[in-house]
Amino acid sequence: MNTASLIANSGIQFIDIPLNLGDSSPAPRLRFEYVEQDDPEADRVYLVIPHQLENGRYVSRLDLNVEAFMTDGTIDESKILPETLQYLREDHLITIQGRDALNVLEGVWLPLPYFRTDHYHANPRKLLPGPQSWARMYLGKIPTTERTENSNYTHKLVLAFDTRCDDEDNPQINHTNYLIPDSRDQQSGERFVCATHEDANGYFLSQKREWLEEVLVKNQKRVPRQLANEQHYLLHMGLYMTLLKLLGQAGGFPVITMQDNALGRSLDINLVLDVGNSRTCGLVLENTARERPAELALTDARRLKIRELWNPTQSNSQPFDMKLAFMETSFGKAEGLSDEYLFRWPSLVRVGPEATRYGIIFGDNQPLNGVFEMTSSSPKRYLWDTHRRSKPWGYFSENAELLQRSAASLPLAHRFTTDGRLLTKANQQALAEGKPPYATMQEPLFSRSSLMTLALTEILLQTLCYINSYEFRQERAEEGVPRRLRRIVLTCPTAMPKTERIKLRECAADALQALREYYGENYKLIAPELEIIPDYEQLAEQDKDQEQVPQNLRELRENYNPQRLKTHWSYDEATCSQLVFLYNEIVHRFGSENAPLLFETMGRHRAGNADGRKSLMVASVDIGGGTTDLMIGHYEYEPGAVTSLFPNPIFWEGFNLAGDQILKKLIEECVLPQIAQEARRLGAQRSGSVLYSLFGPYQHSDSEAKRTRKKLFAAQIATVIAQGMLNQITTYPDQVRQVAFDEFFEEHEAPIPAVIDYINEGFRQVGAVGFDIRLMSWEVSPTEINYKAIRNVIGTMLRDLCGIISQYGCDYVLLSGRPSTLPVILDMFLENLPVPPDRIVPMNRIRVATATHFWYPFSDLHEFTIKDPKTCVSVGAAIALLSEIGHLSGFRLDTRLLSARMTSTADYIGLLTDGQPPRVKKDHLLVIPDTDTSTEPLHEFDLTGVADTFIGMRQMATERWIATPLYKIEFASDRAKALLMPKLPLKLRVRRANAREKEKLTLANLQTIPDPKTGKDIPALQLSLCTLIDPHGHWLDTGNFHLDPYIN
């Protein structure tokens, strides 16, 4: 890489440079020599760079007269004036090998002297003494497992630049020193070069001396013995100079140019996000001014790349975990005032592998006294929870002294209220309601719902960084033009409650606004007209009367009124999977011009079809981490120069029963019992009761330390082993295998000692002599796992869904989502046969590539099928978006029926039963459809206060249909609770306010209660949105498992 460009004012930008610095390269053998020269009068030691004369003697380069230096940096000894020379003793020379500098300075952020070329000087190599503070570097080894075949690269150098440009006429940072590029540099396209030569970076080194000293102290154990045995005052500078020269010779420092947006142009980027409970998947699509041929439309799509910030050599472009961790981001030593502006990554949290990895690595330093919360299994699980937390949020820091710090000190925290709402938005609402404004947040008691805003802030920051990176721009036309975010598409589960669908998109809007406020008016990377699709304010509008909505293509033609239809459909996950299948079939198998052949060959005639043509009925079952969704879509087409498809939703459903519940059941049935069995073998008494004490539900006597260890066990050990078991039965579906503890953790961070000790000591105390979970092996039996965990959890549900599918005469059944790759899932569909066997299509078996053509954005070379079905949702959403904005040629989707007809499935609402999965019994129904005349709902019910009261919803009339939690009945305040508790049980009535807002319930009585202290009525009870029944939270956040304490 000879040159690389940066976009001015595009935040922190990274440039990755792979290098060969292995033993076979010249780099480790490079030698750098210097002398430490005392100055007793100034009480200082100076670093002197020696020059060896032709006679073999050494002199200081500083003693050489100017005339002896040539323009190319070499020295003409014939022009040296002898009277200026003072010879250096050879035994005073300190020699540093290149490999020594590598070993000591790997894995830390270092300052970097990237200076502007002085094109006014006669010497073209002349550099100005700055900018001094805008560049940094990080060098890391490439793990052997990540090195590509036939590649000799051993290291990756990451250059980081803060692209902020100061105003030359009104500087905010460059008051006295040239610290960052200014507006003149930006406008004139200046060139910047790394000053690897000592003649150019002397002043820079003197300014960074303390930083380099701290690095050496931190890595003192890496210093080789021959250097550590003697006292060297400037070894930190010598090592750094050696590294600079080594990297310079290896080609690590390209010429940097700064691109200016002088013409005000930018290219629009669309972001498609499938935010899941367990994992999130993103695609980046660049707008073009022209239509693309349908078969090429997605070849330019790029996977969203998430970069780790504590180890920036690591980046990930696959679906990433949604575990969230509050983390401080540091790019090296703080350097004073400039650090308030430079290298500030404003996000409070990390997501993906980084959050998981460092949550484990630093977990042993995390206090177990419960002072702070630092992690969450997934913010999407808690979109309903707007209550402020009782414990504040803290953050992980590389500096152990800061582990007890509140997250209030992180950069963006002051933009939010105490409970996590966007401050400006909360104050606007307070003003409208005549309330006083909110004060700046002092203690971060952010609600779990607000964590989605923080997570999306991080994801959006990563997106903005990536789309303006040199890596992204160099592959496309107009490399020097900035990219800005224009649209964000957010998918959601098919039957997700409307309130949560709105909340998800509102969190995205708040995240964008927080970034706009942080960066100020000059931040041009977010389009002022940016759309969040679908818009949360449109989603909040009342649903249309279905009697006024066209039911099929024929009615759409005959009675189409644009005012009756919404602008966007909800981009539900199951439909998105269907679009991937149909796009692949039409465009890449039959060909766009032959689209009618697919319908004529695979479809059938149906009553009501337009023009008597055949249509397709496609069912898709999407099994994710948190939900399982069914969509039955009816597809008609209109032939022509461009074939238009008309998807029409016929039946849709969703349950909170999916991968997370399978994983939990697997831990309860197969992982934990084998731990107890091993303890019994080693002599443990009451191993079942110990297992219950260690990993069962919370007890009032549990300390905060114990609860923290239970949570860490679930995250660091139990889920890793359970997921490893699922991987084993997928790879070896017919084999019973013994898998050792270490084998499960080959690709995962080892659990921290505190968790290991928690388990081991628990069983040793009851007689398990020498018990050590790390020495265990687990029997992995596909038959046992299939029946005890997978069929036990979702078998009945899938059988019911197959029954629904068979009633609609579907042509295809598509299986998507990561759990759908488990062999037993396909077996269950084949057992129930909702369609002929050859029409049951696991999405991970669809061929999406040939030897010469790869259209699927998540396919790598030599991968001809969809490796991870999780990616189907984002790819399907991208297809729909490209069609909607007119960027597909030869393929059209008309989503007006999807927009108009998809409404809530909350037809029957009532009191939830205990147990899993939750249900609503017939005699507990509170609200029913007007069309059901055979059922009598409860007029009122008793609120006893003995246990929490939950209200749930279901679509079908049968009471065995799985219900979804929707509301929790709560006291409106502690005062209301004190007044009402003596009056229990209470008679309570609930009603549906509007038939077109199925999920919206109101209390018909007990809305207020008189307060004798004030003589005024105060709110009494409230219906709070709640889609998770466990009062303590999701099992991944609590470590609570359902166990029998009496089984030994």
Which of 617, 652, 648 has its CA nearest to residue 835?
A: 617
Q: What's residue 842's pLDDT? A: 96
Contacts 24+ apart (CB under 8 A), 918-923: 918/950, 918/952, 918/962, 918/963, 918/964, 918/965, 918/1029, 919/952, 919/954, 919/959, 919/960, 919/961, 919/962, 919/963, 920/952, 920/953, 920/954, 920/959, 920/963, 921/959, 922/959
Please indicate, yes or no, whether residues 706 and 851 belong to a single structural domain of this protein.
Answer: yes
334 and 447 both lie in a single domain: yes
Predicted pLDDT of residue 363: 58
* 863 and 934 both lie in a single domain: no
What average pLDDT does the segment 364-381 reach? Answer: 77
pLDDT tens digits for range 793-805: 999 999 999 999 9
- In this prediction, residue 78 carries a pLDDT of 74
Instruction: Give the pLDDT band (50/70/90) at residue 121.
Output: low
Q: What is the pLDDT of residues 1031-1045, one digit of tens each?
A: 888 999 999 999 876
What DSSP character marks residue 843?
Answer: G
The pLDDT assigned to 23 comes to: 84
Output b/e per residue, 81-111; b: 16+ Cβ within 10 A.
Answer: eeeebeebeeeeebebbbbbbbebbbebbbb
pLDDT tens track for 934-964: 888 888 899 888 788 999 999 999 999 999 9
Residue 418 — φ and ψ, nearest 5°? Answer: -60, -35
- Contact (CB, 8 A) for 398 and 391: no
Same domain, 715 and 785: yes
Identity (one letter) of the amino acid at 203? Y
Q: What is the mean pLDDT of residues 905-912?
A: 95
Quick one: 899 and 921 in the same domain?
no
Is residue 86 one of the residues assigned to a domain? no
Say what the alpha-carbon torsion angle 303, 308, 309, 313 is, to the nearest 10 degrees: -100
864-867's contacts with Cβ under 8 Å and 24+ in sequence apart are 866/580
> Which pLDDT score is estimated for 19?
95
Domain shared by 111 and 225, yes or no: yes
Query: 């029946």: which residue's tokens?
Result: 787
Distance, in Å, from the CA atom of 938 to the CA atom of 722, rounded to the nearest integer, reads 43
pLDDT given for residue 143 in this prediction: 85
CB 957 within 8 A of CB 921: no
The pLDDT assigned to 857 comes to 92
Q: Which of 830, 206, 243, 881 is nearest to 533 (CA)?
A: 881
Phi, psi of 297, rounded to the nearest 5 degrees: -60, -35
The kind and range of the H/E element at 908 are: strand 908-912
- What are 722-754's pLDDT values in tens digits? 999 999 999 999 999 999 999 999 988 899 898
pLDDT of residue 520 exceeding 90, the answer is: no
Q: Strand, coil or helix: what is 193?
A: strand
Three-class DSSP category at 137: strand
Is residue 950 in a domain? yes
- Is residue 557 in some structural domain? yes
Q: How far is CA 474 from CA 153, 257, 312, 468, in A?
A: 21, 13, 20, 10
- Cα distance between residue 864 and residue 856, in whole Å: 9
Domain for residue 634, yes or no?
yes
Tell which residue, 903, 991, 904, 1006, has the closest CA to residue 951.
991
Least confident segment among 201-215, 499-513, 551-565, 577-591: 551-565
Same domain, 786 and 857: yes
Q: Looking at the domain assignment, is residue 91 inside a domain?
A: no
Name the least confident of 161-175, 474-488, 665-679: 161-175
d(CA 826, CA 556): 37
- CB neighbours (10 Å) of residue 56? 7
Of the listed ranges 43-47, 491-495, 826-830, the least confidently predicted one is 43-47
Mean pLDDT of 614-622: 97
Q: Within this chain, do residues 579 and 624 fall inside the same structural domain, yes or no? A: yes
Of 226, 259, 292, the position where a domain reaches its end is: 259
The percent of the chain in helix, strand and coil, each rounded to the nearest 5, is 35, 25, 40
Pair (891, 920) in one structural domain: no
506 found inside a domain: no
> What's the pLDDT tens digit per position in 123-139?
657 889 889 999 999 99
Q: What is the pTM of this model?
A: 0.94
Residue 141 maps to a domain: yes
Across the chain, mean pLDDT equals 89
Tell me: do 888 and 980 sit in the same domain: no
Q: Is 938 helix (H, G, I), strand (E, B) or coil?
A: coil
Q: What is the pLDDT of residues 297-335, one digit of tens each?
A: 788 899 999 999 999 999 999 999 999 999 999 999 887
Compute the distance between CA of residue 86 and CA of residue 657 in angstroms, rounded to an integer: 81
Record the tokens describing residue 273, joined without a space.
Answer: 């996000």
pLDDT band at 70 (very low <50, low <70, confident <90, very high): confident
Contact 238, 32 (CB under 8 A): yes
Under 8 Å between Cβ of 482 and 1012: no
Q: What is the DSSP string of 880-902?
A: HHHHHTT-EES-EE--HHHHHH-
- Does residue 514 register a pLDDT over 70? yes
For the chain, how many structural domains are there in total? 4
In this prediction, residue 560 has a pLDDT band, given cuts at 50, 70 and 90, of: low
Pairing assessment for the beta strands 94-97 and 135-141 based on DSSP bridges? unpaired
Q: What gap in Å lies between CA 1019 and CA 305, rounded to an integer?
A: 48
Angle at 970 (CA atoms; ends 968, 973), nearest 5 degrees: 150
One domain for residues 139 and 255: yes
| Cis peptide leading into residue 534 (ω within 30°) | yes
Q: Which residues lie across from 942 on neighbouring strands?
A: 987
Q: Are residues 857 and 710 part of one domain?
A: yes
Cβ neighbors of 726 (< 8 A, separation 6 or more) are 662, 663, 666, 785, 822
Q: Decide which of 426, 455, 489 is a domain's last residue.
A: 489
Give the three-state DSSP class for 963. Answer: coil
Bridge partner list, 7: 259
Question: How are beta strands 840-842 and 812-816 bridged, if at all?
Answer: parallel
**How far is the C-alpha of 607 from the C-alpha of 766, rounded, in Å?**
70
Alpha helices in 714-781 (DSSP H): 719-731, 741-744, 753-764
Residue 81 falls within a domain, yes or no? no
**Measured distance CA(747)–CA(724) in Å, rounded:** 10
Q: Domain boundary residue among 864, 880, 904?
A: 904
Range of the domain at 918: 908-954+963-1035
Token pair 């004369």: residue: 53
Q: What's the pLDDT score for residue 133?
A: 93
Summarised one tens digit per residue, pLDDT across range 346-367 is 999 999 999 988 877 765 455 5
What's the alpha-carbon Rg for the chain, to the nearest Å? 32
Cβ neighbours around 43 below 10 Å, total: 7
For residue 418, what are the contacts with CB-CB under 8 A and spacing of at least 6? 388, 438, 441, 442, 443, 444, 445, 446
